[in-house]
Structure formats: structure tokens, C-alpha cells
């Protein structure tokens, strides 16, 4: 398996499981309807863990343009693979979103709230304030990148790293995710948002393009800051 195929498949798994748990909680008539934020956060953490286990040995399981960019800036990833990784991540995220749509096919028409349907595919702030929302995404992604670089600098029992990264996602979600939904990954937000726009989802409403740049720019800036801080203080 090539690294690019691995990034595609890994990101598809990430989105299928991560957005799948959101759908399970917010759509009408599911067995786990209204299970709450904790369920969503744990589900995303496990989604990251499973995706890393699936493709980590083939590509390093970046699964996130902010991680790819940060590793490049930290000197741990070649420049000639950055664009290919990001394209694969975007394509995988789109494919994962389509699979979520297919899996919950029977539940779209019985769910009345368009905002709930959009929340499955992409993030939205709890309180809409562009400067505050941008800062939240920057801080959360900076923590993500710093922690991943710290994890990479330590030796753990073989096979343990994906579990640690999954726990990191849960920690970020619980501590920092309540403000914006913690995108912390441009591919995780923009590609499924495009899927939401294109797919024939009954009563779906708009795709909130006015906000869509925040979960792209915020994570990219946060990733760069995390890489710079790591290089400045820990190398």
C-alpha cells in the first residue's frame, strides 16, 4: 500500500467512525439518540485510534493537513510528499462522509433540525464570535501538534502509541472542544462540509460557508505554532 492510499483509507476510517458517532447521537430514531457530548468525544478518540492502527505502518497516519504541515516544519517530513498527503486526506474525508450518509440513510428524513444534520459533517461554534472561535481552533490544534511531537519523542510499548493519541483527542475534546466542536483538522471539516452541500439530504439547510474558513485557518495556524514552539524549546 502506498502512503497516499493509506492516508486516503485512514482518513476515510477516521471520518466514518468519528462522524458516525455524531450521527448516532443527533439523528432521530437511533439507538443512541441524545447520548451526549461525552459519547461523541470518546467516539472521536476511538476513531483516531482505529485509523492509526489501520494505516500507521504505511504512512505514519497523519490523517490531518495540520499534522502533515507541522511535521514538515519540524523537519520530520519531506516537502515533496506534503501536497499528496493533503489531497489524499481531503479525498478520504469526503469518502468517509458519504459512507456516513449512506449508513444513516433511513434517519435523515425523520430528523427535523437542519443544524443537527450539518453538525454530523462539520463543526460550528457554540457562541459565534469569529476572533474567539479562531483562537479556540488555534489553541486546540497547537496542543494537538505539540502533544503528538512529544509522543513521537518518547518510547512506548509496541502498539501503544495509537491508544495514547486517541486519549489525547478525548482530552482535547473534553477540555477545549466545547467552544467550537474542536475541528483541529481542516480535512475533517471542509471535505465533509462539501459532501453535505452536494449530497441529497432531506431538509438539510445551508452548509454554513461563512464559518467554513475558521476550521481551516485555525488548525493550520495552530499546527504551525505547535511545530515552531516544539523546535524552539525542545530540540
Mean pLDDT across 103-115: 97
Task: 78-82: list long-range contacts, CB under 8 Å, 24+ apart.
Answer: 81/3
Burial of 174 (0-12, 13-18, 19+ CB in 10 A): middle
pLDDT of residue 88: 98
Please, which residues have CB within 8 angstroms of residue 49's CB and are 6 or more apart in sequence? Answer: 162, 163, 165, 166
Average pLDDT, the chain: 95
Alpha carbons 71 and 57: distance in angstroms, whole number = 16
Q: Which CATH number fits domain 3-234: 2.60.120.10, 2.60.120.560, 1.20.1080.10, 3.40.30.10?
A: 1.20.1080.10
C-alpha cell at 26: 443527533
- Regarding pTM above 0.85, the answer is yes
**Helix and strand numbers, DSSP H then E, in the chain:** 10, 0
Grade residue 158 by pLDDT with cuts at 50, 70 and 90. low
Q: What is the pLDDT of residues 175-215, one digit of tens each?
A: 999 999 999 999 999 999 999 999 999 999 999 999 999 99
200 Cβ contact list (under 8 Å, min separation 6):
none
User: How large is the angle between the packed helices 3-26 and 186-198, nearest 10 degrees?
Assistant: 70
Residue-level pLDDT at 191: 98
Domain ranges within the chain, ordered by starting residue: 3-234
CA 157 to chain centre: 26
The answer to whether residue 22 scores a pLDDT higher than 60 is yes
What is the rounded average pLDDT of the residues 91-95? 98
pLDDT value, residue 234? 81
pLDDT at residue 157 greater than cutoff 60: no
Amino acid at each position: 500500500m502506498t502512503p497516499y492510499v493509506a492516508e486516503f483509507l485512514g482518513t476515510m476510517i477516521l471520518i466514518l467512525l468519528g462522524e458516525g458517532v455524531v450521527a448516532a447521537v443527533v439523528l432521530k430514531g437511533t439507538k443512541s439518540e441524545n447520548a451526549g457530548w461525552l459519547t461523541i468525544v470518546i467516539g472521536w478518540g476511538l476513531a483516531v485510534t482505529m485509523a492509526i492502527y489501520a494505516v500507521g505502518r504505511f504512512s505514519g497516519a497523519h490523517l490531518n493537513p495540520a499534522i502533515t504541515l507541522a511535521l514538515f516544519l519540524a523537519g520530520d517530513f519531506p516537502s515533496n510528499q506534503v501536497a499528496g498527503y493533503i489531497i489524499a486526506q481531503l479525498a478520504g474525508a469526503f469518502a468517509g462522509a458519504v459512507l456516513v450518509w449512506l449508513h444513516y440513510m433511513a434517519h435523515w428524513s425523520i430528523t427535523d433540525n437542519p443544524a443537527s444534520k450539518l453538525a454530523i459533517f462539520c463543526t460550528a461554534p457554540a457562541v459565534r464570535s469569529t476572533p474567539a472561535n479562531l483562537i479556540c481552533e488555534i489553541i486546540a490544534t497547537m496542543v494537538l501538534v505539540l502533544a503528538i511531537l512529544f509522543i513521537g519523542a518518547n518510547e512506548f510499548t509496541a502498539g501503544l502509541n495509537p491508544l495514547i493519541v486517541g486519549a489525547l483527542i478525548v482530552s482535547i475534546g473534553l477540555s477545549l472542544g466545547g467552544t467550537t466542536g474542536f475541528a483541529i483538522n481542516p480535512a475533517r471539516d471542509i471535505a465533509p462540509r462539501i459532501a453535505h452541500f452536494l449530497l441529497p439530504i432531506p431538509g438539510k439547510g445551508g452548509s454554513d460557508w461563512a464559518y467554513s474558513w475558521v476550521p481551516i485557518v485555525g488548525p493550520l495556524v495552530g499546527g504551525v505554532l505547535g511545530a515552531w514552539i516544539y523546535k524552539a524549546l525542545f530540540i
